Structure 1
Amino acid sequence: MRIDHIAIYTKNLENLKYFYEKYFNAVSNEKYFNPKTGLETYFLTFEGESRLEIMSRPNLIENQEINLMCGLTHLSFSVKTKAEVDSLTNVLIKDGYKLLSGPRTTGDGYYESCILDPDGNQIELVAE
């Protein structure tokens, strides 16, 4: 058994799609729209066939900016080298995204940095 995909809601579907396409090489399908509910979705596919469904619909409730809450904590993307973690982290910072930590080697041996995507979802960049 494997995880098929993870889904997140967003108030700005096109902006989030652009973020994952630009920085994480996501490939999107065609937008799905349900006229009865107003639901709009994209499936974003990443190298290795991992998928993220991003969704929007009218009347979404804003997420609180608290990183220590129950539920989904972060999405982790793996690159091949520490230099790639450093490089992508620097590009994201330069482009205005918030750095939470790193790049650094964690106590459990991962070389990582953590940033926030446009909606405040925590993204972890790790070296393989």
Structure 2
Amino acid sequence: MTMTLEHVAIWTNNLEQLKDYYAKYFDGTANKKYTNESKHFESYFLTFKSGARLELMTKPGIPRNQNDTITAQYQGLIHLAFGVDTMQEVEEKARQLKAGGFSILSGPRKTGDGYYEFETLDPDNNRLEVTARFED
């Protein structure tokens, strides 16, 4: 049996903005929006070239995430990591996001476990990493 991570889901109050962000900056392809009117629920699945998928969901009454942008973090899922092939691509993506008005929290930098990465936040302040294997 082969196990794969099928998808990760994010609640948002900014469904269209988040869909557009992941499509523009991370090359996700969105499906047609799913709407369940009786539950006041809407969602998109974005599919990435690797086959991984991200579900973006909205529904009234979902409380905000308690993680802040810099210091306070809580147990549970804390970030999504997007992989690229080269250190140069890590740097290019950091420049692209910064030019788009998104903050770079740290990096690009070499990590102790052999990666080259930076951290950023999506429009909902979800923590993201863009990473590649470190090349000497």
Q: Tell me the distance in 1 between the aligned counterparts of 2:132 and 2:113.
A: 13
Q: Tell me the distance in 2 between the aligned counterparts of 1:91 and 1:25.
A: 13
Kindly report structure 1 stretches of 4+ aligned residues shifted beyond 6 Å. none
Shift of 1:67: 4.8
Determine whether 1:72 maps to 2:77.
yes
Q: Tell me the distance in 2 between the aligned counterparts of 1:58 and 1:71.
A: 22
Q: Given the superposition, is the C-alpha separation of residues 67 and 21 from structure 1 closer, same or farther in structure 2, using an over 3 Å criterion?
A: farther
- Give me the CA root mean square deviation: 1.1
Q: Tell me the distance in 1 between the aligned counterparts of 2:5 and 2:100.
A: 31
Gaps of 5+ in 1: none
Q: Tell me the distance in 2 between the aligned counterparts of 1:19 and 1:35.
A: 25
Q: 1:6 is aligned with what amino acid?
A: V
1:13 corresponds, among 12, 15, 36, to 15
Q: Tell me the distance in 2 between the aligned counterparts of 1:111 and 1:39.
A: 38
Shift of 1:42: 0.3
**Identical amino acids, percent of aligned pairs:** 48
TM-score by length of 2: 0.90
Gaps of 5+ in 2: none
Deviation per residue, 1:42-93 (Å, 9 max, x gap): 0000011100000001122122215521010111101111111001101111
The residue correspondences of 1:28-107 to structure 2 (distance < 5 A) are: 28-64=30-66, 65=68, 67-107=72-112
